[in-house]
């Protein structure tokens, strides 16, 4: 089976609150295992970044569905690649713990210590996710 990794950014609608964020994560953790999807979801300052890994059809179907979700807008595809192995295999949908996000990590890859996937390359956002995993900033 062909494995792929896809990453996108989006802007949460202004009304999104902690409850809705939890609902999205709950829904993802419920649905993803059955579809062979793993990944990470990061939410900070009204911006989502999500990485989805899995079979090509499963990832494509889920991404198409997510792009029509009214809880966010401005969905931009940051990165798509065929992969030999998963990076986020341990998470049906891991949540990036922003409280543990080191500002120095953001500065490493961008001009300011704010998360702005719209102004950096997809490679940079992916590198940031890798470091978050390496520094144990991901919650189950």
Ranges within 92-111 binding ligand FMN (CB under 6 A): 93
Nearby residues of 47 by Cβ (< 8 Å), 6 or more positions away: 9, 10, 11, 12, 115, 116, 117, 118
Q: Is 5 in the site for ligand FMN (CB under 6 A)?
A: no
Closest distance to ligand FMN from the beta carbon of 136 (Å) = 21
Q: Is 28 in the site for ligand FMN (CB under 6 A)?
A: yes
Q: Pick from 91, 81, 78, 69: which is nearest to 123 by CA?
A: 78
Q: Is 71 in the site for ligand FMN (CB under 6 A)?
A: yes
Strand pairing category for 38-44 and 72-83:
unpaired
Q: Pick from 78, 64, 80, 79: which is nearest to 117 by CA?
A: 78
Q: What are phi and psi of 79, to 5 degrees?
A: -160, 140
d(CA 94, CA 54): 14
Ranges within 29-68 binding ligand FMN (CB under 6 A): 31-32, 41, 48, 50, 62, 65-66
Closer residue to ligand FMN in complex, CB, 41/126? 41
Closest distance to ligand FMN from the beta carbon of 74 (Å) = 12
Closer residue to ligand FMN in complex, CB, 22/108? 22
Cβ distance 42 to 50 under 8 Å? yes
Give the binding-site size for ligand FMN (rule: CB under 6 A).
Answer: 15
Which residues sit at the interface with ligand FMN, rule CB under 6 A? Answer: 24, 27-28, 31-32, 41, 48, 50, 62, 65-66, 69, 71-72, 93
């Amino acid at each position: 089976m062909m494995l792929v990794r896809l990453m996108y950014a989006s802007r949460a609608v202004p009304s999104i609150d902690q409850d809705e964020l939890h609902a999205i994560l709950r829904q993802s953790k419920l649905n993803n295992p059955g579809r062979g999807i793993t990944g990470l979801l990061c939410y900070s300052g009204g911006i989502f970044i999500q990485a989805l890994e899995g079979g090509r059809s499963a990832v494509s179907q889920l991404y198409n569905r997510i792009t029509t979700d009214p809880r966010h807008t401005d969905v931009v595809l940051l990165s798509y690649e065929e992969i030999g192995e998963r990076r986020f295999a341990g998470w049906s949908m891991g949540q990036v713990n922003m409280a543990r996000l080191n500002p120095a990590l953001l500065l490493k890859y961008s001009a300011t210590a704010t998360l702005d996937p719209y102004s950096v390359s997809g490679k940079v956002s992916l590198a940031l996710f890798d470091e978050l995993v390496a520094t144990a900033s991901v919650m189950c």
